[in-house]
Amino acid sequence: MSIFEKLESEVRSYSRGWPVVFDRAVGTRLFGEDGTPYLDFFAGAGALNYGHNNPVLKQALLDYLARDGVTHALDMFTVAKRDLLETFEEKILRPRELDYKVIFPGPGGANAVEAALKLARKVTGKESVINFTNAFHGMTLGALSVTGNSMKRSGAGVPLVHATPMPYDQYFDGVYPDFLYFERLLEDSGSGLNEPAAVIVETVQGEGGINAAGVDWLRGLAELCQRHEILLIVDDVQMGCGRTGPFFSFEDAGIKPDMVCLSKSIGGYGLPMALTLIKPELDVWEPGEHNGTFRGINPAFVTATEALRTYWSDDELEKSTRAKGERIGAALQGIAEAYPEAGLTAKGRGLARGLELPSGEIASRVCAAAFERGLLMETSGPDGEVAKLLPPLTVSDAEIGEGLQIIDESVKSVLAK
């Protein structure tokens, strides 16, 4: 029995589908300890938008560590944090005419969500929050309460209250008007809906099955929130940092959320880091009212800053992400059309792509077939029925070709059986 089987909790999951001990990683490749390469179309669930051990970021990190730059600093002022804030303002906020203050909420995406929900409730004096079907926002109790997946919810051990799910875009295949039920409940003082402090939304639901909300729907949601004085929180933990093309996934919709949650790829190198962006007028915290030990991981600030400088000084990355995404989307569409009787659907936007298969069991088999062929790809969706593609944004065209070829073969190997 391996030390993993002996010592690690049964809660582990990814290691079940990929029973390999990984050792090294560069760009889009992970390597097993025997040197076997794996093409990574998972990218740390979106935490590695710039690839594994990106050399530019790596050099900045090594330099910082070598010169004994502060590693851990809580929320103290540091040179690295100043660089980060200045760069974030210069490269991200100012060009997009976004006026946000920055909370360092803790190391992970769930912390960014928890801080946003706390502040929304504090500002409005209301407890209730609207989330969407198939939302995923994290595993801590506050974040879990706005997450849809029933298996994960049942892990809470306490009733998850204060959130009411509303239908996400296309939940009824576009047959019914957007926000039909939501707006009716808000307008009807006898509806029984607790008046919400905030709406929390992902523009593309990654864990929920690569469901991409349309820009019209997002605009409609923003307007609805404004009409009813509800704060709009965009959880851009997985879809931000360029995953869908632009830095923020909501840019194409032209909306300006009241709060934005960032994590995963914001640190650039895969080190834990998170930000909660808030409109300045919402900054009503008492000093220390929200805190935490890992809010000042300066090595992550350094790689974050370097990533912003390297990739967000122009629109090259955004353009290439859109182009790569369209290529993959078209290829998936081609696969879907090749099996008309199977009812496959190509989904997604930018480099968040999915292929919906007939069942979770079939999707698992497709991912297993891909793994046998050297490709890491995961399932998502309520029943795990969507094969999900989140390659690094830095993936090369050749790697895309290689990956698509494997996916094509894998689907064939499963559906042909």
Q: Does 299 interact with a copy of itself (rule: CB under 8 A)?
A: yes
Question: Radius of gyration (Cα) for the chain, nearest Å?
Answer: 21
Query: Which among 66-74, 254-262, 315-323, 349-357 is the span making contact with a copy of itself, rule CB under 8 A?
Result: 66-74
- Return d(Cα 143, Cα 111) in angstroms, integer: 8
Cβ atoms within 10 Å, residue 401: 12
CB-count burial class (<10 Å; 0-12, 13-18, 19+) for 164: middle
State the DSSP code for 286: P
Q: Are 257 and 232 in contact (CB under 8 A)?
A: yes
Pick from 56, 98, 167, 219 the residue near a copy of itself by CB under 8 A.
167
Contact of 105 with 263, CB cutoff 8 Å: no
- Phi/psi zone of residue 201: left (φ > 0), alpha (ψ -120 to 50 degrees), beta? beta
> Of residues 103, 234, 335, 369, which one binds a copy of itself by CB under 8 A?
103
397 near a copy of itself, judged by CB under 8 A: no
Interface segment toward a copy of itself; rule CB under 8 A; list 223-231, 246-254, 376-384, 397-405: 376-384
Binding status of residue 368 toward a copy of itself by CB under 8 A: no
Q: Return the residue of 85, 98, 215, 368 that touches a copy of itself, per CB under 8 A.
A: 85
Minimal distance in Å, beta carbon 6 to a copy of itself?
8
Binding residue for a copy of itself, selected from 39, 92, 163, 210, defined by CB under 8 A: 163
Q: Does 346 sit near a copy of itself (CB under 8 A)?
A: no
180 lines the binding site for a copy of itself (CB under 8 A) = yes
- At closest approach, how far in Å is the CB of 193 from a copy of itself? 6
Residue from 230, 253, 271, 304 in contact with a copy of itself (CB under 8 A): 271
Q: How far is the C-alpha of 128 from the C-alpha of 146, rounded, in Å?
A: 10
Dihedral sign (CA 113, 119, 121, 123):
negative
Closest to a copy of itself by CB, 74 or 338: 74
DSSP assignment, residue 240?
T
Rounded CA-CA distance 164/161 in Å is: 8
Inter-residue contact 358 to 388 (CB < 8 Å): no
Query: Taking CB under 8 A as the rule, which mask of x and - marks residues 109-148 in contact with a copy of itself?
Result: xxx--x--xxxxxx----xx--xxxxx--xxxxxx-xxxx
How far, in Å, CA of 200 to CA of 144, rounded?
12
Is residue 234 within 8 A of residue 208, CB to CB? The reply is no
Which segment (99-107, 315-323, 348-356, 395-403) binds a copy of itself by CB under 8 A? 99-107
Interface with a copy of itself includes 358 (CB under 8 A)? no
As a whole number of angstroms, the distance between CA 321 and CA 328 comes to 10
Instruction: Map residues 200-219 to x or -, x wherever contact with a copy of itself holds by CB under 8 A.
Output: --------xx----------
Nearer CB in complex with a copy of itself: 292/374: 292
What part of residues 230-249 is at the interface with a copy of itself (CB under 8 A)? Answer: 237
Candidate list 185, 331, 355, 357; residue touching a copy of itself; CB under 8 A: 185
- Residues 34-63 touching a copy of itself, rule: CB under 8 A, are 44-48, 52-53, 58, 61-62
- Using CB under 8 A as the binding rule, the residues of this chain from 303 to 332 that contact a copy of itself are none
Dihedral angle at the C-alpha atoms of 76, 81, 83, 87, nearest 10 degrees?
-130
